[in-house]
Amino acid sequence: MPPAPQPPADTPGQGSAANGEPRFTDWLREQSEPTWTQAVEHRFTRELADETLDDAVFRRYLVQDYSFVDRFVGLLGYAIGRAPDLAARIRLSHFLAGVTSEENTYFQRSFDALGVAEKERTNPELKQPTRGFHELMKEAWEAGGYEEILAVLVVAEWVYVSWATAVKDRSPSKFYFSEWIDLHANDEFRDFVDWLRGQLDAHGPALSPDRREAVVQLFRRAVRLEKEFFDAAYEDDS
């Protein structure tokens, strides 16, 4: 494995993007190829944008994703507690507020439209990638470090802003397709993802070799699970 790029002396992470130099998060993404591209350009995201995605597939996906969100909110809480300063805690808290309000409301409206029963919303049978994500998030917060948590958070948000931005000009007529794109392809979300990457750019390169390797492995596993999560939506529950 090639050595990770070191951050520039001035404003590490953020400055590297402005100077055209390699970012630590770009290096992490490269380590996850070709799975990264397979996730971002997945059949699921193309069909959603084209409105050719079967409602049954999207329904299965949303049910699993809502279970993911439950644990994800917990992971964000750990990130807030381990962030290095108040400014970072405030930024993460604002994002957490959006997930638990606007995004949660979207899920409930979509569940209503798709006829998802209450039990499926609160206690679904989890598919393997969902269980894998639960385990990964638990490992990340138990590792005890801000950077390990960031490795998972960055993947979860960067994959979504990447695929949604690529299809943002599409306008599916079903609100649960179009609003899912809009939630992940707006300026505020893009700014947050870039900030989140900047946090990992700034802190990741200074880690010890063992912790840096742990971050790499968490990042790569998260990317693989994102791709498998989309795959699993096509698996008939029966």
> Measured between alpha carbons, how far is 117 from 114 in angstroms, rounded to an integer?
9
Q: What is the mean pLDDT of residues 77-97?
A: 94
pLDDT at 16 over 80: no
Cβ contact 188:117 at 8 Å: no
Position 3 in a domain: no
Position 1 in a domain: no
Position 113 in a domain: yes
Q: For residue 219, give the CATH number of its domain.
A: 1.20.910.10
pLDDT of residue 20: 63
pLDDT of residue 82: 93
> Which domain covers residue 117, as residue numbers?
24-232
More confident residue, 20 or 122: 122
pLDDT of residue 15: 38
pLDDT at 9 over 50: no
Position 11 in a domain: no
Domain count, the chain: 1
Q: SS3 for 106? A: helix
Position 193 in a domain: yes
- Measured between alpha carbons, how far is residue 65 from residues 27, 122, 141, 164 in Å? 27, 11, 20, 16
> Measured between alpha carbons, how far is 65 from 72 in angstroms, rounded to an integer?
10
Residue whose pair of structure tokens reads 């969100």 in the numeric block: 69
DSSP one-letter string for 172-195: -SSHHHHHHHHHHSSHHHHHHHHH
Residue at 227: amino acid letter: K
Cβ contact 200:27 at 8 Å: no
Position 16 in a domain: no
Position 189 in a domain: yes
Q: Residue 51 phi/psi, 5° resolution?
A: 60, 30
Position 8 in a domain: no
Cβ contact 177:48 at 8 Å: yes
pLDDT at 192 over 90: yes
